Structure formats: C-alpha cells, structure tokens
Amino acid sequence: MATANEVQAVVFDLDGVLVDSEPLWDEIRRAVVADAGRAWPTDATRALQGMSTPEWSAYLIDVIGVPGRPEDVAAMVIDAMVARYRKNLPLLPGAIEAVERLANRWPLGLASSSPRQLIATVLDSADLASRFQVTVSTEEVTAGKPSPAVYNDVVRRLAADASRVVAIEDSSNGLRSASAAGVRVIAVPNPTYPPQPDALALASTVVASLDDLTQALVASLVPQT
C-alpha cells in the first residue's frame, strides 16, 4: 500500500488514452449533423472534446442547429457508439498492458467524458472492469472537462491526496481538467488531435505511447519526502 509520501493512485482518461474513440465520436456526430442538414463548424471537433453528455448534446442543438431534445440526440449518438464498440473495440496499442502494469502497484481510477454506458461497454469488453476501483463519468458531476469536477470526484472516492495522484491524459481539455484538480499529469498526445501547447505545458511529463507508461516513471512524479 502506498504511504503518505508517494504516489497513492493513478487515474486514466478513457477516450484517446485507452480507446481510439475520437475518430468515431467525430464520425457519428458529423453524420447526425449532416442528416439534419447542418454544416459542421471548423472548430467543433476540438470544442467537443472533454464535454459531458449534456454539454455536447446541447452544443449540437444550440450551436450547430440539430433539431430535437438533448436527451434524444445524445441517445442517438451513444447508441451508435455502443454498436461500433461491440463490433470492434478500438483499443489503443498497449492499453491493456498499461492498465495491468499500473494496477499491480496502485489503485486505479477512471475519469471519463464518456457516458456510463460506454465506460461499461469498454471496460467489460476489454476485461478491465475489475482493475478500476473508481470510475466516474462527467455526466455524473457538475461539469465536463476542462472543469476539474470529474477528477475531484475520482480523487475523493479514492480517498487520496490530489498532489499524490497521477493522471494519464491526451487532450487539451483533459490536461486542463487534471491539472486544475491538482494532480500530476502524464500526457500521451494523440497525433490526430494533438493538445494545444499551453495545455501540454501543464503535464509533468510527456510520453510517446502507453508502452512508456512504466511504474518507475509514474513513481518518479511524486518525490519521496
């Protein structure tokens, strides 16, 4: 068990860290917008990253102009995502190994912008559900990323000291969320959707892949006192 002066827990993001889901989210949301006869704004893809389900469904309706109720638009997108995951789960290289490697030493949490249904689908399909002590969706807290709300809740549920928790993030809003919660952050940038420089600068360290996510690296981020 971790002591008070070392890493106490590790928290993973889901989308873009464990699953290569951003292209799917983008594809399915674009299809919903196109079916509604609306144009996809140039900044929509980046703006939507990290939003909670209520936030992105409202964005599709209020900003882009998709007709309907937020809950119905959200259900349409989420159902399509579940179907795609069940057909072919897009796990990123090294995802299972990274989770197993770190779970062998520390309690794990998950702080995700995905709805509960998708979190369960991914973790069950990858046989990783038992490795996470705490999982929280941004739809279950007051605001999505970049708000620190989801990380604050995960840290609280893990009964950990935020300054001794290490988060694994890939996106601008994810990095901002974790940093604002006071945790140490390892960035694993997504080459297709790279984080903005100011967000990347919030990370304690940057790695090229999940294979670089070693126990030694994580442990080094919280110096022993």
- Summarised one tens digit per residue, pLDDT across range 135-174 is 999 999 999 999 999 999 999 999 999 999 999 999 999 9
Domain limits for position 39: 22-87
pLDDT more than 70, % of the chain: 97
Domain count, the chain: 2
Residue 114 domain-assigned (yes or no): yes
In this structure, are residues 162 and 181 in contact, taking their beta carbons and an 8 Å threshold? yes
Structure tokens at 35: 């079916």
Averaged pLDDT for residues 72-87: 95
Answer yes or no: do 51 and 79 share one domain. Answer: yes
Give the residue numbers annotated as catalytic, written as ranges: 13, 15
Residues 6+ apart with CB under 8 A from 198: none
Contact 49, 21 (CB under 8 A): no
The residue from 56, 87, 118 where one domain ends is: 87
Q: What is the pLDDT of residue 223?
A: 79
**pLDDT > 50? residue 1:** no
Mean pLDDT across the chain: 95
> What CATH number is given to the structural domain containing 81?
1.10.150
The answer on 41 and 96 residing in a single domain is: no
Tokens at 20, concatenated:
């290569």
Q: Is 97 found in the same domain as 77?
A: no
Which residues have a Cβ under 8 Å from the Cβ of 147 and sit 6 or more positions away? 141, 177, 180
4 within some domain:
no
Cα 5 to Cα 179: distance, rounded to the nearest angstrom: 19
Average pLDDT of the segment spanning 62-69 = 97
